[in-house]
Amino acid sequence: MTEWYHDFVNTSYTPKPDDLVCLFRLESAEGFGIEDAAGRVASESSVGTWTELTAMPHRIRRLMAKAYEIQGNLVKVAYPPSLFENGNMPQILSSIAGNIFGMKAVQNVRLEDIKWPKRLLKSFHGPQLGIRGIRKILKVRDRPLTATVPKPKVGLTAKEHARAGYEAWIGGIDLLKDDENLTSQSFNKFKDRVNECFRLRDRAEKETGERKSYLINITAETNEMLNRAKMVANAGGEYVMVDILTCGWAALQTLRDECESLKLAIHAHRAFHAAFTRNRLHGVSMLTVSDIARLIGVDQLHIGTVIGKLESPQEEVLGLRDNLQHQKTDTIATCLGQNWDRIKPVLPTCSGGLHPGLVPELMKLVGANIIIQAGGGVWGHPDGGRAGAAALRQAIDIAMTGDSLEQYSRDHKELQRAIDTWGVATFK
């Protein structure tokens, strides 16, 4: 009997410009070759099932995906465009990132990257503001933007939270940020936080003469999230923050459109990603997540730090940065490259275990077109949050010039105290 799945392998096929292409890292299970596994992945993610069908009309044969390149464990699959519904991210992902992860013939499979054809690209809106729009709002042209999450992560009242924001803004921070697990708990109701924080934000702007803003976490059930976005717009906010992966892509699509009418930027937190991005052999890469987030249209996204408290390899962080910042990326080993066309760039956010002493190294690695977020690295400063905020800003100022942090800290006491506390070390 012929192996039906092999009909989905065609190494002489060249993808057409409007095919969607996926790059998988694939390991077949015992008893199966790589072609057996590749054929099964292409079949299950397009039109196939576990056996040859009695009726397979010719027109449906044209919808078969093709595993067209197999190099070691890296397999490229081309999908005909008619498999997909325009602007429907859940449908696209149920196809190419659906059942395949559980197939018995596959030991491990990781979706490394997706190359989006023009038609699908056009069916999503992309960021409303993008990097340029954000920088314009905040009137910060060259340096990294700064953000801080008050710590403890949750437990502060709305008043305490706003007071922390005020201290940080006055100290030199641009963006107050909520933590991913702060929404509207009994001790800190969303409505109270909106009122308190924007009141003190306006005051901090007046006192510093700088633009200040607030990444307020609206994460909730979709309708509630839209209500919260409206409350932020009414209070004069510029942003909402959302936990994109725990909310889900459909909710994010809905929110993206609402934010267009409310003129709000979206800060995307990626809590949950490591559940399926961290295993290098199985799951979905963070690069793929960043593609989807950019297509749907977040304005800012967490990418890791290389040197902070959370696992984020240098190659991955730099790949994410390029994928978010550039209009066009090249095909390299585990990346298919993409022409983003009219889809605007997204501002990468580096966060997780950062403090002033790590800023020069971070900027050397990732550059200045980023947001630097420090929670513990501001609120653990021995002289409090305002001093911590000042120290972070001083570290950025000196890193922008490339001069020595240690020397600069001699006449910048907040920075000096931060360095006395944490040095230039990474804390796990």
Name the CA radius of gyration of the chain, rounded. Answer: 23
β pairing state of 283-284 and 265-269? unpaired
Q: Find the binder of ligand CAP among 309, 334, 384, 426 (CB under 6 A).
A: 309
Nearer to Mg ion, 133 or 353 (CB): 353
Question: Closest CB to ligand CAP among 268 and 336?
Answer: 268
Distance in Å, CB of 36 to ligand CAP, minimum? 37
Question: Angle 249-262/222-234 helices, nearest 10 degrees?
Answer: 20
Q: Which is nearer to Mg ion, 150 or 345 (CB)?
A: 150
Q: Which of 297, 304, 345, 348 binds ligand CAP (CB under 6 A)?
A: 304
| Angle subtended at Cα 270 by Cα 421 and Cα 253, rounded to the nearest 5 degrees | 145
**Of the listed 76, 161, 177, 269, which one is catalytic?**
269
d(CA 53, CA 349): 49
Nearest to 22 by CA among 2, 40, 45: 45
Task: Say whether the peptide bond before residue 57 is cis (omega within 30 degrees of 0).
Answer: no
**CB-hemisphere CA count at 13 Å for 10?**
14
Which CB, 283 or 376, lies closer to Mg ion? 376
- Name the pairing type of β-strands 347-351 and 371-373: parallel
Which residue is it, tokens 């022409």?
339
Tell me if 275 contacts ligand CAP by CB under 6 A. no
- Examine the residue annotation and report whether 139 is marked as an active-site residue of this protein: no
Restricting to residues 127-186, name those near Mg ion by CB under 5 A: 179-180
Q: Other C-beta atoms within 10 Å of 352: how many?
A: 19
Give the nearest distance from C-beta 34 to ligand CAP in angstroms: 33
- Specify whether 189 is catalytic: no
Q: Is 270 in the site for ligand CAP (CB under 6 A)?
A: yes
CB of 244 to ligand CAP, least distance (A): 11
Q: Which entry of 151, 161, 273, 344 is annotated as an active-site residue?
A: 151
Note whether 421 binds ligand CAP by CB under 6 A.
no
Interface size with ligand CAP, residues (CB under 6 A): 20
Confirm if 110 and 283 have CB atoms less than 8 A apart.
Answer: yes
What residues numbered 324-383 form the site for ligand CAP, per CB under 6 A?
351-354, 373-377
Question: What does the alpha-carbon distance between residue 256 and residue 279 come to, in Å, rounded to a whole number?
Answer: 30
d(CA 43, CA 105): 13
Which of the choices Mg ion, ligand CAP, none does residue 299 contact, using the CB cut-off of 5 to 8 A by kind? Answer: none
Binding site for ligand CAP (CB under 6 A): 149, 151, 153, 179-180, 270, 302, 304, 309-310, 312, 351-354, 373-377
Binding site for Mg ion (CB under 5 A): 179-180
